[in-house]
Chains A and B, each alone.
Chain A
Amino acid sequence: MDKDMPEQEHVTIYIMGKKYEVPKDLTIMRALEYAGYRYIRGCGCRGGFCGACATVYRKKDDYKLKVALACQNVVEDGMYLAQIPFYPADKASYEVEKLTPTADAILSRYPTIYRCVSCNTCTKSCPQEIQVMDYVQSMLRGDIAKAADLSFDCIMCGLCASRCPAEIPQYNAALLARRLYGKYIAPPAKHLADRVQEVAQGKFDAEIEKLMKAEPKTIRELYDKRDIEP
């Protein structure tokens, strides 16, 4: 269980403008719960993988807007916090079977990419520290492999799109790039196709059946004596 912290120093934070005193070592998410909020939105995996808890904040006396994942970042004194649990970015619909891995496959579905002014605000607003602008530029050049690689760690929180003056839904375009790479650019695994065929031919059925029917003693012995690939 997320344990209650022992007595310790407190900091002042402002949750959507409202002031609260919270223990200084809490994550932003735990601090909101400490303050008495029970999440419905704005909380998902609590482990930095799902993008539900995208947070924008500013420190007192600083003009600069900063971003964080509420579950992965610790509160600081004087934080003004707001979460963005949902962002209404455009998502294209497509049949992946009918696409070709070209720049046009992405740009025709996300034409706002042409409007990129290379301001780099997207990169600065990524809580995963992804080079967002670089992958958008890779898409413009038709370098899908690069776009797929650079965007791989994207958790689709939507903060990039929320700050983009060109209104590009970067994270949705990136997912399309990765799917194009995975399906059309990365070579298919031959050993996998071969094995699927062998399974369909029933090559392993008899052997598995034998194991299923084996006496408990026999299967234990087989397991204990099985050879293990170094």
Chain B
Amino acid sequence: MAESIKKVEATREFRMKQTMPRLTAAEKSEILKKFHPDYKGGSTRALAVGPSKGSKVPHEFADIFESYSLITPENFNISKIDFDVDVLIIGGGGAGAAAALSAQENGARVLLATKLRFGDANTMMAQGGIQAADKANDSPAIHYLDVVGGGGFYNVPELARVLVIDAPGIIKWLESLGVMLDKEKDGSLVGIHGGGTSRKRMHSARDYSGGEIMKVLRDEVTNRNVEVIEFSPVIELLTDGRTCTGAVLYNIETEEILIVHAKTVILATGGSGRLHVQNFPTTNHYGATADGLVIAYRAGCRLLYMDTIQYHPTGAAYPEQILGQLVTEKVRGLGAHLCNREGNRYIYELETRDVESAAIIRECLERNLGVVTPSGQHGVWLDSPVIDITNGAGTTVKQLPAMYRQYMRFQIDITKEPILVYPTQHYQNGGIVINESGETDVENLYAAGEVSGGVHGRNRLMGNSLLDILVFGRRAGAAAAKKSKFVPPGRLAIEHVKKYHKELQEVGVEKVRFSPMMLPDYRRKEQKKSPVPVV
């Protein structure tokens, strides 16, 4: 590794004068088909049951869909109601918090239930920023074109439209809440490029962008006395057979079951990195186990684009202790080069994430020009010292304090040494089918954020997920609150789970797997026990 770093240093001056060509559409398509993990043969299978039966999804997802409920529906007691509210929000990340605020503003009695602490979510970890077309040389239409092009033209047009058209209003809302966005002296927002952007519209809060937003939203939800229940994941939805009428909470500390009757329910349960598709490491938080997808699927929600996972091109490949953790795209946005073992650049750094990931895999596994660490990890260099040389000394520390600190903990000064990176499982591009109000296939059930699919097509651009959770969180919150005023008290039942179990039995799925997963298990193999039904 040390020898290769010397080569990186030696080529730096040359690289800084070099212009890398962008790939043509045909080149992008070819590299994706050959090297992106989504296209790896044998990594998916067709779902055997449920509303999207026949759709191909990665095995790790198929396993949790083709699983039995943690509840035994035949003898489950729903007679005692513990909470009776207008709007139940499941998930305490950015989408859930935004939904809670907007539902309450629209006059609803809100309950927010979350699996871990309020704020334990991928939102908290989002570093790079949030997109909005608010500069004179930019427009929501230009943003739209970037979004659908980045998504491979698979985006649901109506969803992409509201994403870009609501964006400036969302940033204004954050400003009014007191989120410390990066600004120039005159108050204008700092904007940089992200992969696949055609305008510098990536706004940020240093490299704690999501953290800053999450902390402020959480503070606001707390100030407004919205009821929040932590450490209580939802393990099943309740339906009257047709519409959603509530949910079953499970207190993971006391193992108590709580029944919620709600007029409308919003799923904001986030993503699924902890499923470790194809054994990739992940940037995601501990609770990203796709619980919302599973319970929504059982209740009758169709899925969209679940065969496509976003691998973030720059996950940490060294040191081993932070393997797979995020090295924000902002590092490339600020000018750092990607280069191979010999110190040569091999791709334009701001292609979309799917293309960048595929190109790193090609460089390492096909061309054999990557670096291999002592523990056998492959990686390419991200030449971070270029940032300060280009933008002035101190830029890294000021703009990337989290990155700088993370590496300094392992005695690596990223202003002086390059970082070794390799793709890591980052984002669930697909999810539950929704419309512009966040409505799902099941009446009175809404979804917002990473759990939903269609907004980003088959590949999300950087800075559009923080935007997505706030746009659709607020939309779902408002729609669910308004709808709740016209919903009569519903019958609480769990027949849909019985029906789903029957389907599983019919296709011969053995009763050995149970879901939702709730938490991953990283103990040694001999310590692990298989999950068992809780009720």
Interface residues of A (CB under 8 A from B): 1-6, 25-27, 30, 33-34, 36-41, 43-50, 52, 72-74, 91, 93-96, 128-129, 148, 152-153, 155-156, 175, 178-184, 186-193, 195-196, 199, 204-205, 207-208, 211-212, 216, 219-220, 222-224, 226-229
Contacts and interface: CB of A to CB of B under 8 A. Distances in A.
B25 interface: yes
Contacts of A47: 125, 283, 285, 322, 325-326
A189 B183 contact: yes
B168 A38 contact: no
Contacts, number: 234
Contacts of A229: 137, 193, 198-200
30 contacts: A5-B375, A26-B321, A36-B527, A38-B521, A40-B231, A40-B519, A41-B231, A47-B283, A47-B326, A48-B406, A50-B124, A50-B125, A93-B223, A148-B180, A152-B212, A153-B208, A153-B401, A178-B212, A181-B180, A182-B180, A183-B178, A189-B183, A190-B188, A196-B172, A199-B140, A199-B168, A204-B141, A207-B141, A211-B148, A219-B149
B148 A223 contact: yes
5 A-B pairs with the lowest CB-CB distances in the bound complex, closest first: A187-B187, A179-B178, A183-B178, A223-B149, A182-B178
Contacts of B171: 189, 192
B353 interface: no
Contacts of A207: 139, 141
A195 to B, nearest CB: 4
Given A186-B180, A195-B168, 7 more contacts: A36-B527, A45-B125, A187-B187, A192-B175, A219-B149, A226-B145, A228-B198
Contact of B519 (A39, A52, A187): A39
Interface stretch (B4-12, B113-121, B432-440, B497-505): B113-121
A91 B120 contact: no
Interface string B502-535: 0000000000000000010111100100000000
A220 to B, nearest CB: 7
Q: Which of A50, A178, A188 has the most CB of B within 10 A?
A: A50
A37 B527 CA distance: 9
A207 B138 CA distance: 13
Given A5-B320, A181-B178, A191-B136, A40 B252 contact: yes
Given A73-B409, A95-B223, A226-B142, A44 B169 contact: no
Contacts of B188: 189-191
Contact of B145 (A4, A95, A189, A222): A222
A48 B316 CA distance: 13
Contact of B183 (A3, A6, A187, A224): A187
A52 B120 contact: yes
Contacts of A3: 281, 323, 375
A121 to B, nearest CB: 21
Interface stretch (B95-103, B104-112, B213-221, B355-363): B213-221
A36 B529 CA distance: 11
